[in-house]
Amino acid sequence: MIKENVQKIFKEIPEDALLVAAVKSRSIKEIKEAVDAGVKIIGENYLQETEKLFPYIGHIVKWHYIGSIQKNKIKKIVEIFDMIETVDSVDVLRGIDRRAKGIGKIMPVLIEVNSGKEEQKSGVYPEQAGQLIDAAAPFKNVLIQGLMTMGPFVNDPEKLRPYFKLTKELFDCLKARETKNAQMKYLSMGMSDSYKIAIQEGANIVRIGTLIFGPRHDR
Ligand SMILES: *Cc1c(COP(=O)(O)O)cnc(C)c1O
């Protein structure tokens, strides 16, 4: 099933869009099946899980960090991951820069946007994204490559469209500014139930779990 699911998604997204397989709580066997089916990027929310998976999968795929970032985990996150999609503060940027410098790496990141402006959610408010990017100018070991958004929790994915639209507009606006250490290239939005809408609204990274692996049975 996993193989068919992956192939179906690849058929439905544009060729230049990236599929990130969101693998939280999945078994190594399931993940390997997805990789065998052509998945090139794994998205992980948890460092501990990643450290378990990495020895079995390693660099045959790229690793995107899509979870919330705890300060004491930044060192390891920078070491393992190829992109961090969930950056939302100067402090985190500074921590990433310091750790990346330590190992001679330029760390690609996306700025997470709280497009629904929900108080308890992670991400910067849309109007603060530009400021955060400007504040990253001194951080030579960080490369900002775009934006990521989740959007609010809604019962109908169609209701996410305005938030995807807003994030795309912000993306285009920031892209036009040509900031020094930012090259706005990726717009990561859309999950299992919303990726088609996200693609229509301009996403070029989609993060998909359930539609590849089936419903999660861990919680
Ligand atoms: C789990 C997760 C996804 C995938 O969600 P599905 O609904 O299972 O496709 C995407 N992005 C993030 C940040 C996630 O935590």
**Tens place of pLDDT per residue across the chain (219 aa):** 999 999 999 999 999 999 999 999 999 999 999 999 999 999 999 999 999 999 999 999 999 999 999 999 999 999 999 999 999 999 999 999 999 999 999 999 999 999 999 999 999 999 999 999 999 999 999 999 999 999 999 999 999 999 999 999 999 999 998 777 789 999 999 999 999 999 999 999 999 999 999 998 665
Sign of the four-CA dihedral 123, 126, 128, 132: positive
User: Structure tokens of 86?
Assistant: 């969930």
In 3D space, the residue among 108, 104, 126 whose CA is nearest the CA of residue 117 turns out to be 126
Q: Is 20's C-beta closer than 6 angstroms to any atom of ligand 1?
A: no
Q: Is 68's C-beta closer than 6 angstroms to any atom of ligand 1?
A: no
Q: Is 149's C-beta closer than 6 angstroms to any atom of ligand 1?
A: no
Whether the Cβ atoms of residue 126 and residue 113 lie closer than 8 Å to each other: yes
- Report the separation in Å between the CA atom of 60 and the middle of ligand 1, taken as the mean of its atom positions: 22
The phi, psi pair for 16, rounded to 5°, reads -90, 5
Looking at residue 173, its pLDDT comes to 96
Query: Strand (E) positions, 127-193?
Result: 142-149, 182-188
Instruction: Tally Cβ neighbours within 10 Å of residue 22.
Output: 24
Residue 89 gets the label, from left (phi > 0), alpha (psi -120 to 50) or beta, of beta
Q: Is the pTM of this model over 0.85?
A: yes
- What does DSSP assign to residue 155? S
Whether the Cβ atoms of residue 87 and residue 100 lie closer than 8 Å to each other: no
Among 20, 83, 191, name the best residue to mutate to test ligand 1's pocket (greatest count of ligand atoms within 8 A of Cβ).
Answer: 191
- Report the separation in Å between the CA atom of 198 and the middle of ligand 1, taken as the mean of its atom positions: 14
Q: What is the pLDDT of residues 103-146, one digit of tens each?
A: 999 999 999 999 999 999 999 999 999 999 999 999 999 999 99
If you take atom 2 of ligand 1, which residue's CA is the nearest one? 22
